[in-house]
Structure 1
């Protein structure tokens, strides 16, 4: 589906009109418009998509003024969100783009290649109505990916499924030629989609490339141990790491390895790619930053505990948790810790970042919201202290979707109210949000729960 931005010529969404409301005269407006152009920002949609640091680095504007302008712009365009979430679609264009040539709905574990975990809704529905359930013979611990009209699923039964997003019917089913069943045949790596290629790892230590449209096998790359992380893709290369303790970089369409970086232990942290750097955690207690082109080490941070949490990366910092219950904000260029927040319980949940807030779950059964600048706790929400929150949240249109083993919850972050919840089956994966629907793996398949009112990207989900 082609993305067409709304009309930007109206007074409400015209960038110059918005800027003029923040400046004292035409001369200052001209200056601000010139500086925004220097930073590569030519429309309200582009400005709403970028972060403060990106604009500040490319212009002479002060950060405080940029923040005020961003707030004004985002308020102005709220009523114009169509088809895809407009801000996200333009964010993909002007910041760190996803792996696909055009915006896909949720093409990988972290939603985008820097693991920010944003999804697409239009407006909230307060029921969480279940639209369909897809049944498998075993757990779905692989978080679904969404590409076009397909929900893509890896399963513990050793199969990969392409499911119609509207009906929940099977479109295709892939069974490896070397099907061996459990345990080594399980697909627990969450799928990544780039162009028309579906990438995911298997417990047998193989990275598969399948046609996302038909499920036919295109290639297979063998590593030395199981792969339970989600592949990351950038600039035509795929980055995959697993229990072998090696980060492999290879071209998607070639069998050979571009480079390999060795670490000291198993890796269950899915890599994030941002501005030519690959970030991931390791069970050797470290957070790594590796040059995406050369495979050389940029920096390494010792966190003091196992890091199974996957990093999320914004314009300036990397956010990640460890098994001692510490969430870190780390300068993405230097590896220096900006702040750390201690909960005292294991953090396996990967952070999600929206605006000035970092969201994540904890083994203490609570869901946390921290200030992105200083790590101060904004709020926490408890569900059941005996049920760990190890799944990673998803964010869409001001709503937070989080899950523990028992239930999926839709939260309103400003009130902390549970808008709706789903508990028909035990939860086994992190949620995915696309086409106005929340998809989640369960003990015996995938559930699709409606999260919007009205039309859902013209798919009638």
Structure 2
């Protein structure tokens, strides 16, 4: 919900904005494929993506297309906005930071071996996210340079770092690792602080 609108998508190739007070459809936006992924909004813009490889920014008042970025593959990662930057992972081996206002690419990190489908964490100048290559990545938020990558050595991709959203508190990143162990890492170095085998859990949010 943003700017008195409730935004939602339909698998019938339509993205709509409803009036938050009356539930009336203020505007629809037609897409070329069904939309199944989360959106994010900032003042005046709502940003979404879908499986055909495009990232869209629409005007929240009238649904006009403000910009579109085309990638090399399906965009499955959820976007997150801070300031004028949209951070989002793709399926083409890249993680991107885009200008929220005009859609220009601020930087790209090209070191991914598998897709990103989760929502990244922004904290203390880092962008932190998991990918299907079994790694948890920390990039410099301003430049996209790799600061560290963590992998617990689990051979199992199904229970991957891709499936959780890391959280942080007081310089500690909390996750559930691919082997289902709650794990804490130092946000600045990626050093493993502790791992608990007291209870194993499926893909999950971290706990801060």
User: The TM-score by the shorter chain falls in which range?
Assistant: 0.7 to 0.9
- Structure 2 residue runs of 5 or longer lacking an equivalent are 155-159, 190-207
Q: Is the 8 A contact 1:305 1:323 kept in 2?
A: yes
Residue in structure 2 matching 1:331, options 59, 63, 74: 59
Counterpart of 2:111 (choices 344, 368, 383) is 383
* Residue in structure 1 matching 2:123, options 383, 396, 399: 396
Change (3 A) 1:396 1:403: same
1:450 to 186, 201, 204: 186
Does the Cα contact within 8 Å between 2:3 and 2:43 map onto a contact in 1? Answer: no
Per residue, is there more helix in 1 or in 2?
A: 1
Which entry has the higher C-alpha Rg, 1 or 2?
Answer: 1
**Quick one: distance in 1 between partners of 2:111 and 2:84?**
24
Say which of 392, 409, 412 aligns to 2:137.
409
Which residue of structure 2 aligns with residue 75 of structure 1? Answer: none
Residue of structure 1 equivalent to 2:74: 346
Match of 1:432 among 154, 167, 176: 167
Structure 1 runs (4+) greater than 4 angstroms displaced: none
CA change 1:441–1:283 in 2 (3 A) is farther
Instruction: Give a deviation string over 1:335-360, Cα, whole Å, max 9, x none.
Output: 11101010031112111112222110
CA pair 344-452 structure 1, distance change in 2 beyond 3 A: closer
| RMSD value, Cα | 2.2
* Count of equivalent residues: 181
TM-score, structure 1 length as denominator? 0.37
Gaps of 5+ in 1: 1-272, 454-460
Output the CA distance in 1 between the equivalents of 2:10 and 2:115.
21
**Which of 368, 371, 377 does residue 99 from structure 2 map onto?**
371
TM-score normalised over the length of structure 2: 0.77
More strand by share: 2
